[in-house]
Amino acid sequence: MLKSLIKLTGQNVIFPFYHTVSDSAPIHIKNLYRVKCEKDFVNDLEFLLRYYEPMKLSDVKSYINLGKKRTKPGFYLSFDDGLSEMYHLVRPILISKGIPAAFFCNSAFIDNKDMFFRYKISILIEEIHKLKQSAVKNIEAFLQTQDIKSHLLSLKYGDINTINSLANTLNIRFEDYLQQNHPYMTTAQLVEMKKAGFDIGAHSIDHPLYADIDKNDQKHQTQSSLAAIGQITGTTDRIFAFPFTDFGVPSSFFDGVQVDIIFGTAGLKKDQLPHVLHRIPMEKGSLSASSVVCKQYLYYMAKSFFNKNVRKR
C-alpha cells in the first residue's frame, strides 16, 4: 500500500523525527509521552529502509535545489532536544545501519546546564505521585486546581516561576537531577557525533513555543542557538528545527534569520517556502513507523482536496 501512496501523492521524500529511544522512560520524560523502546525503534528503521533510501544533508540540499524532486524515495532522519540517549544508544545503531541523521540541540541545555521546562514538569509530577494525600491537597490549594497533573502539563514557557517555586516547595533541585542523570549530550559528545558524520543543528536556546514569544526573541533564540552550535561543532551548515511547532510564527520571521534549512513538525506537508521542510513526528503512542507513515499519506491526500496540504506564508 505504501508504494501506491507514494506514487499517488508524488511525495517520495519524508522527514521522520524522534526525541529519544529508551527501554525505560527517564523520569524527565515519562509523564509527558510514551518513549519508543530500542526494539521498536530498530523495527521502525527497518521499515523505513525497506521503502526509502537514507539521505544525507547534501542529498536534502540537492532535493531542495532541484525543486523538491528526487528519483528514488528517500528519508532524512532527525532527533530533537539533544538527549544523551542519542550518543549512547541511537548513534551506534545508526552507524551500524549506515543511516545519516541530524540532531537538533537547545544551546542552553548542552552539558546539562539547564533543562527544558516540560522535563521539569515531568519530574514534579513524579515527585507528587509519591506524596501523601494531605500534601497533595496543599499543592492543589497552592496551584488552585483539583487536577494537578493536567494543570502542570498545561503550564507554558512563561510559567517557569510557578514551576521553580513548586520545585522549591517540594525540595527538588533540578541542578542535582541534571548532575546525577545527565539527560543531555555534552559538548565533547556533540563534537564526536559531528566527526562521525552526523549533522548537528539548532533548536532554539531554551525551547519556548515560538508563538508565545515576541519577534525579537524568536530571532534571538534562533540566531544565538545557531551560533552556539557553529562554535561547538565548527559546522558551516545552518540548520534549525522549530521547538514544538512553527504554527503561529509570522512570515517576517523567515526573512529575518539566516538559516539554510528550517525544519517544522507539521507531518507530511508542503511549504510555500522552499527551504522549510516539515517532519513527521514518529512517537505516536504504540504505533509503528508503518502505521504512522501510512496515516500521514492518507491524511495528506485528504487535506489535498481542501488545498490544506501546503503551509502558506
DSSP calls for 237-255: --EEE-SS--TT--THHHH
Q: How far is the CB of 276 from Zn ion (least distance, A)?
A: 17
Stretch that binds Zn ion, among 40-48, 134-142, 238-246, 301-309 (CB under 5 A): 238-246
C-alpha cell at 138: 496543599
Rounded Cα distance between 247 and 78, Å, is 20
Q: How far is the CB of 55 from Zn ion (least distance, A)?
A: 21
User: Closest residue (Cβ) to Zn ion?
Assistant: 80
19 vs 91 by CB, closer to Zn ion:
19
Contact 219, 256 (CB under 8 A): yes
Residue span 68-97 as binding mask against Zn ion, x where in contact by CB under 5 A, dash where not:
------------xx----------------
Residue span 243-262 as binding mask against Zn ion, x where in contact by CB under 5 A, dash where not:
x-------------------
Rounded Cα distance between 109 and 137, Å, is 33
Q: Which phi and psi angles does 246 have, rounded to 5°?
A: -90, -5
156 vs 308 by CB, closer to Zn ion:
156
Rounded Cα distance between 38 and 54, Å, is 19
Footprint (CB under 5 A) of Zn ion, residues 15-44: none
Q: Can you give the C-alpha Rg of the chain in angstroms?
A: 20
Contact 303, 309 (CB under 8 A): yes
Q: How far is the CB of 241 from Zn ion (least distance, A)?
A: 7
- Residues in contact with Zn ion, counted by CB under 5 A, come to a total of 3
218 vs 309 by CB, closer to Zn ion:
218
148 vs 241 by CB, closer to Zn ion:
241
- Determine the length of the chain: 313
49 vs 153 by CB, closer to Zn ion:
153
Stretch that binds Zn ion, among 156-164, 189-197, 237-245, 266-274 (CB under 5 A): 237-245
Q: How far is the CB of 207 from Zn ion (least distance, A)?
A: 6
81 vs 271 by CB, closer to Zn ion:
81
User: CA-based diameter of the chain, in Å?
Assistant: 64
Q: How far is the CB of 99 from Zn ion (least distance, A)?
A: 21
Q: How far is the CB of 86 from Zn ion (least distance, A)?
A: 13
The SS3 of residue 227 is helix
Q: How far is the CB of 118 from Zn ion (least distance, A)?
A: 9
Measured torsion, CA atoms of residues 186, 182, 217, 33, in degrees rounded to the nearest 10: 130
11 vs 106 by CB, closer to Zn ion:
106
C-alpha cell at 52: 526509502
Q: How far is the CB of 90 from Zn ion (least distance, A)?
A: 15
Burial class (CB in 10 A: 0-12, 13-18, 19+), 96: exposed
55 vs 83 by CB, closer to Zn ion:
83
Which residues sit opposite 17 in a β-bridge?
Answer: 78, 281
Which residues bind to Zn ion, rule: CB under 5 A? Answer: 80-81, 243
